[in-house]
Structure 1
Amino acid sequence: MFKGLFLTGSMLGMLGDFIHEKGVHIPEVDDAVAQYGTQARISLQLWSSLLQKISTAVNDPALGLAIGQRIAPRHVGVLGYLVLSCQTLGQALLRFARYQRLVYDVNPFSVHMDEQGMELRWGIDYGKPGSLVDETSIAALFNFLHILTNQPLHPSFVSFVNPKPKNCQVYSDYFHCPVEFEDTVTRVRFPAAYLEAPLLHSDPTLLELLSQQAESLLVVLPKADAFEEKLQQIMVQCLHEGEPTLPAVAAYMALSTRTLQRRLQERGLIFQDILEDTRRELAVRYLEDKSLSLTDIALLLGYSEQSAFNRAFKRWYQQPPKVYRKAL
């Protein structure tokens, strides 16, 4: 699941900085930082997996907020320095929206303006990556805007699509505004007065040069693969009905089994790997929903018995799902 969704490799530096400041050694994070350069693109699957590794090692129920505090311009690549060169916060947000795929090519945000201010909205076009992924990205953006202005920025409202956590107060304290959960989209609203806030390092000449560079980088980014998107959606549907098989998925996609096999091979994909990835990522999302029992989750993931789900989850995250849920 979430194949075809990417982040810039420079964001790995934020994870590396965080664990080193915590004094925690996580080989998978260190290896990823060393392997991927700042110009590389990393999959959302890898990003989510690394965040889960950190979550296992660091006991922090609001981990995404803590990681997002470590954001720095170098973690955002060309776009980081581009928005630093803008004149106002409003201009910076509009530029960020235009070039966001250079940094975070997952669920895009859209900008909505009215007389009360500006609202950034993230839909769920490509699914829900989960609380940890969403909160890390929103916190990183929030703290980056503080870097741009060097003054406290208090949104007027924040909401997330994800389930309500145990301690909501930590989120209100962090953003200094009301925070809600289980919304239809993720929202961050800023008062109108903030949009004219001047930036510290405004440079119109540099802004023009970096905008040209960003445009050239944007043009060559690969477009989302419609086949993979449809495959992901159907795989989730099939899981709800039991263990998906290649012929069953092919039938849902109105393809012959042979054609589906060929298209998977053309993309270097293996059916069983996609099934495993989909289950692993959905498991975390379902565990966040406290209304679902472990038996419910096992059935939603296509397992005939909860014990099979327990074994799989322990293989993925080195702990039973019951223990993982308690830490949420």
Structure 2
Amino acid sequence: MKRAAKFSLSPHCLILFKDLGLNQALLLKQAKLPADLWHSLPTSVTAAQYFDLWHAMEAQLGETLPLKLAQHLNIEAFDPAIFACLCSANLSAAMRRLSSYKPLIGPLTLHVREDQQGLLLSLDCYGYDKPLPKSLGLCELAFFTQLARLATRTQVIPKTLYVTQLPDNMTDFEDYFGTTLTLSNQVAIRFHQADTQRPFMTENAAMWSFFENDLAQRLAELDASASMTQKVKALLMELLPSGQVSAEQVAAKLAISKRTLQRKLDGESASFQSLLSALRSDLARQYLRRSSMSLQEIAFLLGFSDANTFIRAFNQWNGVPPGHFRNQNAHSADKDYSI
């Protein structure tokens, strides 16, 4: 997973700060940031500055910060990377997009895992050697929940919630989430399977196409030392549900020609088709082992036009039809996740 050294602060954040009732000048003073920072937007901050800013927000609002954030979350305050997620077809696709673009937003890594129990999102932070803001994990969980509710226009209730520190005002948080908080060694949230596939009312393919080239380019530039194989894999993970996974389309998003893409992959003893097939095969096995999704749904997530095309491809990759594979592996789902 890519990690960035600096993170974008856009003018949109001022809308959120205003809605939250934060003293913006005091924020900068408490976080020891330049006094004219708000006049320099858009700008970027280091991981340490990012978390110092969170501490400053927490100093003003205390444990009410996560719930106030959820209350005032609206499209006007969204970073382009987050707004692009709202354009997705459903929560599953949105969170996979967000996982790819999280390095553009802040020093947190979002892990996305789907299994028979639903969609599991977990978070790790990096680039900061001081204690993390207590409210940070709850803010992220409130954000995921509110995003799902905003996009589906449904009162989505998470299946389970995990935090590293329990808040004092537990009742307020459990009233908001509709479920209890569990103490764990990691911040995580699990959504019910039905909610992961619930259609987003905010889906907008035209708006997504407006954002995707810029976001893909920013992501590709995040780590210039990344191999072409790594860049292609990252892009394919994002593009699969759209079905736009040709070598020409991936090359365009990397701002290179198809010939250059093929040459660079050849230099790394790889080919575009082999990377695409390997990724599809791996994801297909995961979906079949860990979820109850239909073959049609899996075919869509893997970028196939129909279930029959997926079935033929899976049979070619693994020597057995996907239905047979699912029956053989019905009780072999990975047990390596502790929560």
Which runs of structure 2 are paired with 1:132-171 in the superposition (5 Å)?
132-161=135-164, 163-171=165-173
Contact kept, 8 Å, 2:58 with 2:133, in 1: the verdict is no
Structure 2 residue 41 is the aligned partner of structure 1 residue 37: yes
Distance in 2, matches of 1:14 and 1:33, equals 15
Task: Note the alpha carbon deviations across 1:8-61, whole angstroms, 9 max, x for none.
Answer: 4356325422344xxx644234856733424x3233433433444344444x43
Distance in 2, matches of 1:175 and 1:55, equals 20
Give unmatched runs, 5+ long, in structure 2: 29-34, 226-339
Distance in 1, matches of 2:185 and 2:114, equals 19
Distance in 2, matches of 1:35 and 1:93, equals 32
Label 1:51 to 1:78 Cα distance change in 2 as closer, same or farther (>3 A): closer
TM-score, with normalisation over the residues of structure 2? 0.55
Which runs of structure 2 are paired with 1:63-212 in the superposition (5 Å)?
63-104=65-106, 106-124=107-125, 126=127, 129-161=132-164, 163-181=165-183, 183-212=184-213
Aligned length: 215
Contact kept, 8 Å, 1:76 with 1:103, in 2: the verdict is no
Contact kept, 8 Å, 1:70 with 1:140, in 2: the verdict is no
Give the residue type in structure 1 aligned to 2:92. Answer: G
Distance in 2, matches of 1:220 and 1:202, equals 27
Task: Note the alpha carbon deviations across 1:183-234, whole angstroms, 9 max, x for none.
Answer: 222111000001111112322243234222210111222589xxxxxxxxxx
Label 1:100 to 1:57 Cα distance change in 2 as closer, same or farther (>3 A): closer
More off after superposition, 209-218 vs 191-200: 209-218
Distance in 2, matches of 1:19 and 1:122, equals 24
Distance in 2, matches of 1:10 and 1:51, equals 17
Contact kept, 8 Å, 2:166 with 2:181, in 1: the verdict is no
Give the residue type in structure 2 aligned to 1:132. Answer: S
Give the residue type in structure 2 aligned to 1:35. Answer: H
Task: Give the secondary-structure state (helix, strand or coil) at the position aligned to 1:108.
Answer: strand
Corresponding residue of 2:52:
49
Label 1:85 to 1:53 Cα distance change in 2 as closer, same or farther (>3 A): closer
Give the residue type in structure 1 aligned to 2:87. Answer: S
Which runs of structure 2 are paired with 1:191-270 in the superposition (5 Å)?
191-221=192-222
Label 1:209 to 1:15 Cα distance change in 2 as closer, same or farther (>3 A): closer
Distance in 1, matches of 2:163 and 2:186, equals 7
Label 1:103 to 1:139 Cα distance change in 2 as closer, same or farther (>3 A): same
Contact kept, 8 Å, 1:12 with 1:33, in 2: the verdict is no
Contact kept, 8 Å, 2:158 with 2:191, in 1: the verdict is yes
Distance in 2, matches of 1:74 and 1:219, equals 26
Label 1:114 to 1:55 Cα distance change in 2 as closer, same or farther (>3 A): closer
Give the residue type in structure 1 aligned to 2:221. Answer: V
- The structure with higher relative contact order (CA 8 Å, sep 6+) is 1
CA shift for structure 1 position 96: 1.2
Give the residue type in structure 1 aligned to 2:138. Answer: E
TM-score, with normalisation over the residues of structure 1? 0.56
Which runs of structure 2 are paired with 1:312-323 in the superposition (5 Å)?
none
Contact kept, 8 Å, 1:10 with 1:76, in 2: the verdict is no
Which runs of structure 2 are paired with 1:274-285 in the superposition (5 Å)?
none
Give unmatched runs, 5+ long, in structure 1: 225-328
Distance in 2, matches of 1:32 and 1:188, equals 37
Contact kept, 8 Å, 1:123 with 1:184, in 2: the verdict is no
More off after superposition, 204-213 vs 114-123: 204-213
Task: Give the secondary-structure state (helix, strand or coil) at the position aligned to 2:114.
Answer: strand
Cα RMSD after superposing both structures:
3.0
Contact kept, 8 Å, 1:107 with 1:123, in 2: the verdict is yes
Task: Give the secondary-structure state (helix, strand or coil) at the position aligned to 2:5.
Answer: coil
Contact kept, 8 Å, 1:158 with 1:179, in 2: the verdict is yes
Task: Note the alpha carbon deviations across 1:47-89, whole angstroms, 9 max, x for none.
Answer: 433444344444x433233234322234332223312222222
Distance in 1, matches of 2:224 and 2:168, equals 38
